[in-house]
Chains A and B, each alone.
Chain A
Amino acid sequence: MAASHSHETEAHSTRVYWQVFLALTVLTGASFFTYSSYWPFHDTPAVGWTFMMAVSVTKAMLVMLFFMHLKYEANWKYVLTIPATVMAIFLIVALVPDVMWRYEPGAGGSQPSVERLRHAANPHEAPLLRSPAPHESSAH
């Protein structure tokens, strides 16, 4: 009786693994969909970025909960995962000023500082390099 019961739970867990695998595949397809021409938000990349991060977090949660069995573990899982996650988030938050201070103060946060532009790529030159010269595009 006990043996048949454990056999059932094993068959059940194998089925769960395949279902999670299917979900992960579909979600990978979903984030890849943002690359296709059918994706309606190419003009506002932030929508795609948010969507892809949401998909990635969902995928990571699926892998952790089912493949890494965290769903079935005792409370020690919080002792080991939460401090690391908090430290990781602190680390990223600590880097945020680096992004802010790169930009010229008072320019609406969009104008890179003069110091940076002296050696870095120039945003105004980028379109030159990404499109053919006028006669090369207009002709034919």
Chain B
Amino acid sequence: MAQAAEAHGHHIHLQYQPALPLPNGKLFLWLFLSTEIMFFAALIGVYVVLRFGAPVWPRPHDVHLSEPIGAFNTFVLICSSLCIVLALEGAKRDNPSAAKFWLVMTFLLGSVFLVVKAYEYEAKFSHGIYPWKPHSLIYERPDVYYASAVRTRMVEITTPLVQQRGQIQEQLKSAEPGSPQRAQLEAQLQQVDQKLAVCDQYVLSVVNDPLVTPEKLAQLSYRIMHPWKDEQGNLHPPLGEEFPFLHGLPMVIPGGNLWASTYFTLTGFHAAHVLVGLIAFAFFLPKRLGQERTVHLEALGLYWHFVDIVWIFLFPLLYLF
């Protein structure tokens, strides 16, 4: 064939044909997304396996998970997906101001998502729900290990109180009878004694009882985590809220450790993807977003929609299952 062409005096015209009929940048982004599909499928798959293989899984309420907040964040991401596709549409029409407006909206909505996520994390951290041990206050069962952890925390709480009590008594020895300073010290002593009495009444009497049962420990954990009624039918807030000095007591949340590990892994990796998206938006925001930026905006959009799709699956799996 080539010889025949040469024989006829024609040149061979070789034309570059890409393997797939799409720009290199877009091809790269889709290849990247296909690795991302496998990455998140692995994470979500492992979550499903752990979630449905677990003997007990915490209820959302036990781990301070708010379904309305999750739904709100889903809506925020859907809005941002719409915004970036409208930004791309603006660039296609060579309308840079429209493209910029929608990209700014996308950026803001992505930031709202991260702020809400940070607020949710804070709600968990402040209740001692961490995915790792030094900070985590989650115990799986109301057993001796739990009782021991409560005792350890109680030592941390009562030691300064006992020291304070000793100091006040020392000062009382030198205080003149009837002086205002003495009255003040006596009032302080009474406060410390009240706190110690609370420690003993609600916590130490349970965990220091050599015959304590899992039922008693479960009741204690319930009072640490939830509002509860006493024998007279009075409603009490959770112990750490009613008596702020009792904060940081360990809790029994069956399945809570596995829940925390999976929740923070999934939402953490997703939030990292959102953050990367925001950095990419910030890079393109100062530029002119005319027709010449169509390829870039399309790539940004494809990535952002993927992040949105991941959350579309994470929201029901984490909040509603």
Q: Assess the A121–B34 pair: CB atoms within 8 A.
A: no
* B229 in contact with A99 (CB, 8 Å): no
Q: Does B252 contact A (CB under 8 A)?
A: yes
A38 to B71, CA, bound (A): 17
Indicate which residue in B49, B53, B74, B308 contacts A63 across the interface (CB closer than 8 Å).
B308
Q: Is the CB of B255 within 8 A of A95?
A: no
Chain B contacts with A in 12-55, Cβ cutoff 8 A: 20-22, 27, 30-31, 33-35, 37-38, 41-42, 45-46, 48-49, 52-55
Which of B37, B41, B85, B142 has the most chain A CB atoms inside 10 A of its CB?
Answer: B85
What is the 8 Å Cβ interface bit string for chain B, positions 220-258, against chain A (1 contact, 0 not)? 011000101111110000000000000000001111100
* Cross-chain contact A67 with B305 (CB below 8 angstroms): yes
Question: B230 CB to closest chain A CB, in angstroms?
Answer: 7
B229 touches A120 (CB 8 A): no
Find the B residue at minimum CB distance from A88.
Answer: B41
Contact between B74 and A28 (Cβ–Cβ < 8 Å)? Answer: yes
Instruction: Determine which of A10, A20, A52, A102 lies in contact with B89 in the assembled complex, contact meaning CB atoms within 8 Å.
Output: A10
Contact of B93 among A10, A79, A83, A112 (CB under 8 A): A10
Contacting pair B55 A117 (CB below 8 A): yes
Tell me whether B55 and A84 are in contact (CB under 8 A).
Answer: no
Contact with A along B43-75 (1 / 0, CB 8 A): 001101100111110010010000110010011
Q: Is A87 an interface residue (CB 8 A)?
A: yes
Residues of A within 8 A of B52 (CB): 99
User: Chain B 296-308 against A: per-residue CB contact (8 Å), 1 yes, 0 no?
Assistant: 0000011001101
Query: A28–B228 contact, CB under 8 A?
Result: no
A140 engages B233 (CB within 8 Å): yes
8 Å CB interface, B242-278 against A: 252-256
Task: Evaluate contact between B82 and A87: CB separation under 8 angstroms.
Answer: no
Q: Is the CB of A120 within 8 A of B22?
A: no
Interface membership of chain A positions 97-140, coded 1 if the CB is closer than 8 angstroms to chain B and 0 otherwise: 01100100000000010001101111101101111110111011
CA distance A10 to B98 in the complex (A): 14
Chain B contact-residue range equals 35 or more
- Report B-chain residues with C-beta under 8 Å of the C-beta of A35: 67, 71, 319-320
CA of A122 to CA of B309 in the docked complex: distance in angstroms? 35
Q: Is there contact, CB below 8 Å, between B315 and A31?
A: yes
A44 at the interface (CB under 8 A from B): no
Q: Which of B82-124 contact A (CB under 8 A)?
A: 82, 85-86, 89, 92-93
Task: Tell me the complex Cα distance, A31–B305, Å.
Answer: 19
Nearest neighbor of B86 in chain A, beta-carbon distance: A17
Contact sample, A vs B, 20 pairs, CB 8 Å cutoff: A17-B85, A25-B78, A28-B75, A29-B71, A35-B67, A56-B316, A60-B313, A63-B305, A64-B309, A74-B21, A80-B20, A88-B38, A91-B41, A95-B49, A122-B141, A125-B142, A129-B142, A133-B215, A136-B230, A137-B229
Give chain A's interface residues, CB within 8 Å of chain B. 10, 13-14, 17-18, 20-21, 24-25, 28-29, 31-32, 34-35, 45, 48-49, 52-53, 55-56, 59-60, 63-64, 67-68, 73-74, 76, 79-81, 83-85, 87-89, 91-92, 95-96, 98-99, 102, 112, 116-117, 119-123, 125-126, 128-133, 135-137, 139-140
Residues of B with Cβ closer than 8 Å to A?
20-22, 27, 30-31, 33-35, 37-38, 41-42, 45-46, 48-49, 52-56, 59, 62, 67-68, 71, 74-75, 78-79, 81-82, 85-86, 89, 92-93, 140-142, 214-215, 218-219, 221-222, 226, 228-233, 252-256, 301-302, 305-306, 308-309, 312-313, 315-316, 319-321
Closest 4 CB pairs of A and B: A88-B41, A121-B254, A84-B34, A92-B45
